[in-house]
Structure 1
Amino acid sequence: MRLEVGLRFLAALFALAPLPAVAAEADPPILFVHGNGDSAALWETDIWRFESNGYDPALLSAVDFPHPMARAADDVPEPNRSSTADQTAELKQAVDQVLAATGRTRLVLVGSSRGGYPIRDYIRNDGGRATVALAILAGVPNHGVFALPFKRASEFNGDGPFLSGLNRPPEADPGVRFVTLRSDHLDKFAQRTGRFVGFPYVPTFVNHDGPALEGARNIELPGLDHRESAFHRLAFQEMYRAVTGHDPATLDPTPIDHPVLDGLVSGTENGAPTNLPLVGATVELYEVDPATGVRLGPAVHRRTIDADGRWGPFTGSPTAYYEFVVAAAGYPTSHIYRTPFPRSWRYLDLRLAPLDPAHRARAGSLVTLVRPRGYLAHGRDVFTIDGTEPPGVDDGIPAVDAVTRGFDAGPSRSVPVALNGERMTVRTFPLADDQVVFAEFHY
């Protein structure tokens, strides 16, 4: 049954979402490619910005790799994890679908982190020079997260066969324009020691220049972290310049009256996240009071997930705050609060994960602040739960994208949560009933 569902999902995945008719402009289609363990959802804020600058939504799409996590060794199969060959084949199929849907012959590929690997492999080894006009590689560890004589089968080893093959001169393949975006020194995967990759104090023989490529236009984005090099407004500015040749009129999304929200419900298998449909899961959507997090009425949308994995569509308000309640067998019920959605969101993915047993023993309820498109750093970011900064963030390189605070057992209460300029209020739910709370921010 799981295989049958997976095959049906793959067929739907590479058909992509139905696209409106393509306008007769010269702008190329853009396909966004997510990184290790991630999903298409991360790209939506960049898609919003392109749309807000007049880019045809029909030309903007993102891929969801079904098994987004890399194997420990690229040549050794692991349940629910993908090889470099898997991802390149899946990307090629997605490219073919985009070109067929848009009627174009070439496109732009934009990759974050690991997402740059299938882009480069496709261009170099699988016919991509004929179809890719521009490759934008954001925070991609092009020379590895380490370059060492052990773990050579890891695709992230700059001294291993995969990256050695991609980096044979010329690093930027002729016939395709390459742009790289990187942090000046805050990318946790471009550090001189292996603190963030499993071997502290060991030299990596990689530094902050690791994402740059000879022959590319290499752009440094000071003060941004690994994920922000793809999803920050300043990263978008460089993407837009590279695609269009001029500056965007705005770096922020412009609201529309009736945003339509939709996305995938997925889960975690064998310890790794998936972008496969979590059949049988349920989603309820409530509008909440932004000051208290209290629901303003009954559910405004309900859906039981079937083989296509979709929980929508739902037409909402660009000023409303919403609570998503996602439940499935084997997972805690997740209450996911979100700041307003100014524009439509095709890739509003909702992914469930098991509860960390360590949390269960320490609190009556949990609230987790989540920043999917960047990390948290003391002094650079302001992040609070119930007015105080939660533990779990070290000084120095931004490396954590979520922090959790526990609360004593008791009646449900309102908890304000803030991240830089975004704010929301959530409600607590009892951990004893397998309920957890997330405050997820767009930026």
Structure 2
Amino acid sequence: MHTRRHLIAAGFASTLLAACTTTPVNQERPPIVFMHGNGDSAALWQTTIWRFESNGWPRDKLIAVDQPFPLARDDDTVVQPGRSSTAESMAFLKAEVDRALKTTGANKVILVGNSRGGNTIRNYVQNGGGDQVVSHVVLGGNPAHGIWAVKGRQERNEFSGLSPFMQQLNAPKNGNGDEVTPGVKWLTLRSDNNDKYAQPDGIWIGAKGTATNIGFDGPALKGATNVVLPRVDHRETSFSPAAFDATWRFLTGEAPRTLQPAPEAQVVLSGKVTGLGLDSRDPASGAFVNNLPLTGGRLVVFAVDTTTGARRGPPAWEQTIAQDGRWGPFTAQPNTSYEFVLGAPGYATTHIYRSPFPRSSSVIQLRPERIPEADRDARALVILTRPRGYFDAERDTMRFDGQAALPGVPPKGSGVSSSKVKLPSDAPRAVASEFNGERVTGQVWPAAQGDVSVLELTY
């Protein structure tokens, strides 16, 4: 797997990070609140939480939050249905931190954020009173100086380096010109040149050949400990083994015992079922993601053969989703692969195949798919998705239904996290995938009957 690459990268930062610790390992662990990025959910922190647990951080001190409307507005000053402003995002995080402090009895909290989550954290610490209750901040792939800084291009969007929001965040805080709020320990993690949102060229923002005026070092902040993780992509700045290694060293001053999740004897799974909102600009698209509970759906879970995706017997779990959208708790068998079948009005019946779960998790998000009009001609649809990272044809070893070149994944660059095959036949058969050693196999289901298969990678 690509773990070795991450281990090497993390090693470069070891000495620097060990010098920054203010949380000795022999003291009681403070709570950590994890803030996801734009359009994402708490589920992305699953493997990070596993790694913290496997190194001794108490499970009840690891809190991944779900912002109801995780997408930023096009214009931060204009109300936009299904989207959140910087002020709304900050208020959400403040409430979650207050809840974590009350629940745990702690007087300080650690904040860890990915991408847009870093904007929210910085805003809260600087402008929402967070400097009084936050001891450490870790920002992975945060567009700290914007994704673009182009005059006339959405200058009131929070991702513009010219926006009033970004300008006030980056205003010097002292005579040294530090960009971070004093009194808090700051760590930024970034890629050397492989983060799609820290690129000098606008290829990933629909402006190929146009300068963004943002460099590869855009996520770095003056006054913070800034660490470079070679070849990681935008999401891997937070969710990779290398990111965990750097974070653990920064928080404790010591190397972690392990970078991999330690298996548990009993695995209990739960999470939330969410849906898709409507894009206000195109009501037919269903393009808006949100983290609101999807109620009234039906979940059925089957144990499946790891190599073929075929069901191994009757359902292992069945449940109608209630008003809170929560599902579980389901006691899973170690070393067993599962198919999660999710049906809900207005959605395709979605068959989600996952690798075996080595540990318990309460942040497993399940979201049914819709079949786009452009795919109605397919007899069967199979989607391969990697929520915690992107596919990189130059870097990764990949196969999807026998193809080394994944459909929809460009030959260069790390900016696509899903691939889809449209099959000319819906005859039952196995569809296999592999990504850097992780293998997920599912079964074909007929699109004409409203079914879609999803192979979801964990790592």
* Shorter-chain TM-score range: over 0.9
Report if aligned partners of 1:264, 1:309 keep a CA contact under 8 Å in 2.
Answer: yes
* 1:285 Cα deviation after fit: 0.5
Structure 1 residue 305: deviation in Å? 1.1
> TM-score scaled by structure 2?
0.90
1:96 aligned partner: 98
Is this contact kept in 2: 1:183–1:222, CA < 8 A? yes
- Matching residue of 1:397: 413
The 5-angstrom pairing of residues 312-391 of structure 1 reads 312-361=328-377, 363-389=378-404, 390-391=406-407
Q: Deviations over 1:56-113 (max 9, x none)?
A: 1111110000001111111111111111111100000000000111110111100000
- Once residues 54 and 410 of structure 1 are traced to their aligned partners in structure 2, the CA distance between those partners, rounded to angstroms, is 47
Identity of aligned residues (%): 46
- For 1:306 and 1:78, the matched residues in 2 are separated by 28
1:290 counterpart (306, 310, 313): 306
Which residue pairs with 1:73 in the alignment?
Answer: 75
Q: Distance in 1 between matches of 2:341 and 2:450?
A: 13
Q: Does 1:269 align with 2:305?
A: no
Q: Distance in 2 between matches of 1:312 and 1:294?
A: 23
Paired position in structure 1 for 2:4: none
| Secondary structure of residue in 2 paired with 1:93 | helix
More divergent stretch after superposition (406-415 vs 276-285): 406-415
- Verify the 8 A CA contact 2:140 2:237 in the aligned structure 1: yes
CA distance in 1, matches of 2:407, 2:368: 23
The match for 2:248 among 236, 240, 246 is 240
2:166 corresponds in structure 1 to: 163
* CA distance, structure 2, for counterparts of residue 218 and residue 353 of structure 1: 39
Confirm or deny that 1:279 pairs with 2:295.
yes
User: Contact between 1:27 and 1:244, CA under 8 Å: does it hold in 2?
Assistant: no
Match of 1:215 among 223, 234, 237: 223
Query: Normalising by structure 1, what TM-score?
Result: 0.93
Does residue 153 (structure 1) correspond to residue 156 (structure 2)? The answer is yes
Please tell me the residue identity of whatever aligns with 1:255. P
Please, which runs of 5 or more residues in structure 1 have no aligned partner? Answer: 1-23
Q: Quick check: 2:350–2:369 contact (8 Å CA) kept in 1?
A: no
Alignment of structure 1 residues 31-50 onto 2, 5 Å: 31-50=33-52
Contact 2:369 2:452 in 1 (8 A): no
Q: 1:166 to 1:410 in 2, by over 3 A?
A: closer
Distance 2:426 2:43 in 1: 34
Shift of 1:25: 4.6
What do you get for the CA RMSD once the two structures are aligned?
Answer: 1.1
Matched-pair contact (CA < 8 Å) for 1:31–1:108: yes
Rounded to whole Å, the distance in 2 between the matches of 1:291 and 1:377 is 24
Q: Is the 8 A contact 2:393 2:413 kept in 1?
A: no
Supply the distance in 2 between the matched residues of 1:410 and 1:46 (Cα, whole angstroms).
Answer: 37
The within-5 A match list for 1:297-316 is 297-316=313-332
Q: Which residue of 136, 139, 163 maps to 1:137?
A: 139
Of the candidates 97, 106, 128, which is equivalent to residue 130 of structure 2? 128
SS in 2 for 1:123: helix
Hey, what does 1:194 align to over in structure 2? 202
Separation (CA, whole Å) in 2 of partners of 1:393 and 1:174: 42
Q: Secondary structure at the match of 1:346?
A: strand
Query: Helix, strand or coil: the match of 1:49?
Result: helix
Q: Conserved in 2, the CA contact under 8 Å of 1:370 and 1:439? A: yes
Query: Is the contact made by 2:426 and 2:447 (CA closer than 8 Å) also made in structure 1?
Result: no
Secondary structure of 2:126's aligned partner = helix
Aligned residue pair count = 419
1:373-414 C-alpha deviation (Å, 9 max, x unpaired): 110011311221222133211122201000111222242111
Aligned match of 1:11: none
Task: Report Cα offsets for 1:188-214 as digits up to 9, x if no partner.
Answer: 000112111122222110011100000
Which runs of 5 or more residues in structure 2 are unaligned?
A: 1-25, 174-178, 279-286
Paired residue type of 1:182:
R
